[in-house]
Structure 1
Amino acid sequence: MEKLKKDQWIIGGVILFAIAMIAFGLIKDKVEKDALDTAEIKFYNFPSNKLIDTNYFVLSGKIDDPSIKLDVELGKLLSYSNGNFKILIERKSEDAEGLLDINLSKGNAIRNIQKKFSVKFNRATKEYLAKLKIQELKKQKVEERAEFNRKVKDFGKKAGKIKTRHPEWSWEDCSNIADNKIWIGMDIEMLVYIRGRDFSRNVSNYGGGNQYQYCWMDYTPSCFYDNDGDGKIESYN
């Protein structure tokens, strides 16, 4: 009998402990959820926010509960310490404003909020941004010219002249055109560049759509065929 009572006390204790743990977990979850629901986030205005270049700036702010974990979407969290955070954001307008998706978490509780930010840059900053933009454009042109010159060394000056007039053509195609090469799949306009516009153009249709024939009678091969109207040579004779 005494052993039975002892076993009942042990089972009862285990049950009470389990109930207490469940209650504690429920209370803990509620406390964490309440903390997220009442969390306040503040964004600082200029000059606390740092410009990176003409396209990006760092948005600074603070959350009132530093125990809450924070992450962002459509931005990059640069630092987060003691509730203070810095987020890298793309600047899409003269000033910077929009909605920031913020993910908060504490324990098992998770909350996603959208926080509006509006950062006004002063006149001096806007003038600085305009100068940066000009500098970036100049740098881009210098880099493009340097790359162009490297390609000219690889493909030749004549190919470079063709590329200048037709930037939509590849360097390989420009090199072939410079050597007066003809190949299946080349654009008709490339052939016109080589031979000129003194040609005859004939259109025929046998029920499957227009087919085109281009002929230069003073050259060999003379005639070229575009069978589906895509502007590319598919055969010649």
Structure 2
Amino acid sequence: MKINHICIAGFKEKINKITKKEIFLKMFGIILSTAIATFLIIVVILYFKTPTITILEPQNDSSVQTTTIMVKGTVNLATTKLLVNNHMVEIKRGKFNYKWFLTEEKNILHLVATNENSNKTIESVLNINRIMTEEEKIALEVQKKAVLEAQEKAEEERKAKELAEQKTWEQSKAGKLCTKYPLWTKEDCENIANRKLWIGMTYDMLVESSGSKPDSAHLSNYGDGTRWQWCWYDYNPSCFYDDNNDGIIDAYN
């Protein structure tokens, strides 16, 4: 009986050890699974997260007398691409610096941050007023006037060039065709002037392209609709077909 009691006690101790081991393994598995799930959730959140822009200096709507200022700020994601007034700006450890030239009295800086993983973007605007001297204001107005005059001159020259080109084109064979047939496109007129043929051109286009009306025109109807055959004796291809009497060339040989 004593031996049996010892055996039973040893067996119970062994069972307890196994149970404790199983509990430990289960707890470890739960903790590991939770850690992995948490890590994956964080990765997904960061992957699809919208970036943020924080401008540290200068303060928005501030006024300065200098011609340049240094814009400093931070972004929250390592995968952020930053454009400042359409210029790519380098980001180091989430921080960026941008040298801004103030050319106007009222200056606007556009910042666009993009998460390169998800392509989510956010925009920010910084307004800075520059305090100009009277001499600078006069010089700026003179510069603006000169730029405006140059733009107006360039526009006048462009219009004059277009008008001259249009008049020259109107005197060409293609231009005269488009004047005669105003519903034709410029491309159609150019193709016909170059005697090109294509399925889908009209009968009038075919006549103009060949240079004359057909030597023979055959009309037929065998119960399935009216068809036309137009042939030229000294033209290659020589015969053209309209299968449904709509004035459009459907085939030729």
Q: TM-score, normalised by structure 2?
A: 0.36
- Structure whose CA Rg is larger: 2
Normalised TM-score (structure 1): 0.38
